[in-house]
Amino acid sequence: MTGTDFTQGWVNGWIIAIVLINLLGCLWLLWWTRKRPEDHIAEGESMGHSFDGIEELNNPLPHWWLNLFYFTIAFAFIYLTLYPGWGDAKGMLGWTSHNQWEMEVEKANNRFDRVFKDYAAIPVEELAKDPQAVKIGQRLFGNNCALCHGSDARGNLGYPNLVDNDWLYGGSADQIVASITHGRNAMMPPGGGLPMTEQDVLDMTAYVLTLSGRKGSGNADAAKAKFAVCSACHGADGTGNPALGGPNLTDNIWLYGGTEKAIIETLTLGRQGKMPAFKDTLGEEKIHVLAAYVYSLSM
Check residue 116 for interaction with ligand HEC (CB under 6 A): no
Nearer to ligand HEC, 81 or 156 (CB): 156
- From 15-23, 53-61, 214-222, 251-259, give the range in contact with ligand HEC by CB under 6 A: 251-259
Q: Taking a C-beta distance cutoff of 8 angstroms, is the pair 271, 173 a contact?
A: no
Q: Is 38 left (phi over 0), alpha (psi -120 to 50) or beta?
A: alpha
Check residue 273 for interaction with ligand HEC (CB under 6 A): yes
Check residue 144 for interaction with ligand HEC (CB under 6 A): yes
Check residue 229 for interaction with ligand HEC (CB under 6 A): yes
- From 3-11, 25-33, 81-89, 156-164, give the range in contact with ligand HEC by CB under 6 A: 156-164
Check residue 150 for interaction with ligand HEC (CB under 6 A): no
The binder of ligand HEC chosen from 30, 193, 250, 277 (CB under 6 A) = 193
- From 43-51, 64-72, 95-103, 172-180, give the range in contact with ligand HEC by CB under 6 A: 172-180
54-91 as b/e: b if 16+ CB within 10 A: eeeeeeeeeeeeeeeeeeeeeeeeeebeebbbbbbeee
Check residue 271 for interaction with ligand HEC (CB under 6 A): yes
Check residue 204 for interaction with ligand HEC (CB under 6 A): yes
Least separation in angstroms between residue 120's CB and ligand HEC is: 16
What is the number of the residue whose Cβ is closest to ligand HEC?
Answer: 273
Check residue 255 for interaction with ligand HEC (CB under 6 A): yes
Check residue 138 for interaction with ligand HEC (CB under 6 A): no
**First-residue to last-residue Cα distance in the chain:** 54
Going by C-alpha positions, the residue among 184, 177, 175, 153 that lies closest to residue 285 is 177
Applying CB under 6 A, the site for ligand HEC has a residue count of 50
Q: Taking a C-beta distance cutoff of 8 angstroms, is the pair 88, 7 a contact?
A: yes
Check residue 80 for interaction with ligand HEC (CB under 6 A): no
Q: Taking a C-beta distance cutoff of 8 angstroms, is the pair 258, 212 a contact?
A: yes
**Beta-carbon contacts of residue 186 (< 8 Å; ≥ 6 apart):** 168, 245, 271, 272, 273, 274
**Cα–Cα distances in Å, from 208 out to 122, 125, 211, 237, 259?**
42, 35, 5, 11, 11
Q: Which residues bind ligand HEC (CB under 6 A)?
A: 141, 144-145, 147-149, 158-160, 162, 167-169, 176, 179-180, 184, 186-188, 192-194, 204, 208, 229-230, 232-234, 244-247, 249, 254-256, 263, 266-267, 271-276, 278, 290, 294
